[in-house]
Amino acid sequence: MHSLPVSESLESLGSLRFDNRFTRLLPEDPESRNFRRQVTAACYSRVEPAAVAAPKLLAYSPEVLQLIGGDGDPHDDPRFAEIFGGNRLLAGMEPYAMCYGGHQFGNWAGQLGDGRAINLGEVVNPQGQRWVLQLKGAGPTPYSRSADGLAVLRSSLREFICSEAMHHLGVPTTRALSLVETGESVIRDMFYDGNPRREPGAVVCRVSPSFIRFGHFEIFASRGDLETLRTLVDYTIETDFPDLIQADPSADVARPPVAAAAAQAKFGPETYARWFERVCQTTAELLVHWMRVGFVHGVMNTDNMSILGLTIDYGPYGWLEDYDPQWTPNTTDASGRRYCFGNQPQVALWNLLQLANAVVPLVGQTKPLEDSLQRYSQSFETGWQTMMAGKLGWKRYHAAADAPLTEELLGLLADSETDYTLFFRGLADVSAGEDDSLPASIAAAWYHPDRVDEPLRTRWTEWLRRYRGRVRSEGNSDALRREAMNRVNPIYVPRNYLAQLAIDRAEAGDASWLADWLEVLRTPYDESPGAERFAAKRPEWARNRAGCSMLSCSS
Radius of gyration of the chain (CA): 24
Q: Is the dihedral of CA 383, 389, 395, 397 positive or negative?
A: negative
Cβ count within 10 A of residue 193? 9
Q: From CA 241, how far away is CA 239, in angstroms rounded?
A: 6
Q: Is the dihedral of CA 138, 139, 143, 144 positive or negative?
A: positive
Q: How distant, in Å, are the alpha carbons of 56, 197, 448, 463, 518 from that of 76? A: 12, 34, 49, 57, 20
In sequence order, what DSSP letters do the residues of 316-352 get, joined into one string? S-EE-SB--TT---BGGGTTT-TT-GGGHHHHHHHHH
Asked if 435 and 468 touch (Cβ cutoff 8 Å), the reply is yes
**Taking Cα atoms as reference points, which of 122, 134, 130 lies closest to residue 49?**
134
Asked if 439 and 426 touch (Cβ cutoff 8 Å), the reply is yes
Please tell me whether residue 457 adopts helix, strand or coil conformation: helix
Q: From CA 128, how far away is CA 12, in angstroms rounded?
A: 19
**Taking Cα atoms as reference points, which of 403, 414, 406, 383 lies closest to residue 488?**
383
* One-letter amino acid for residue 370 of the chain: E
Q: From CA 386, how far away is CA 365, in angstroms rounded?
A: 33
Q: From CA 514, how far away is CA 502, in angstroms rounded?
A: 5
Active site residues: 303
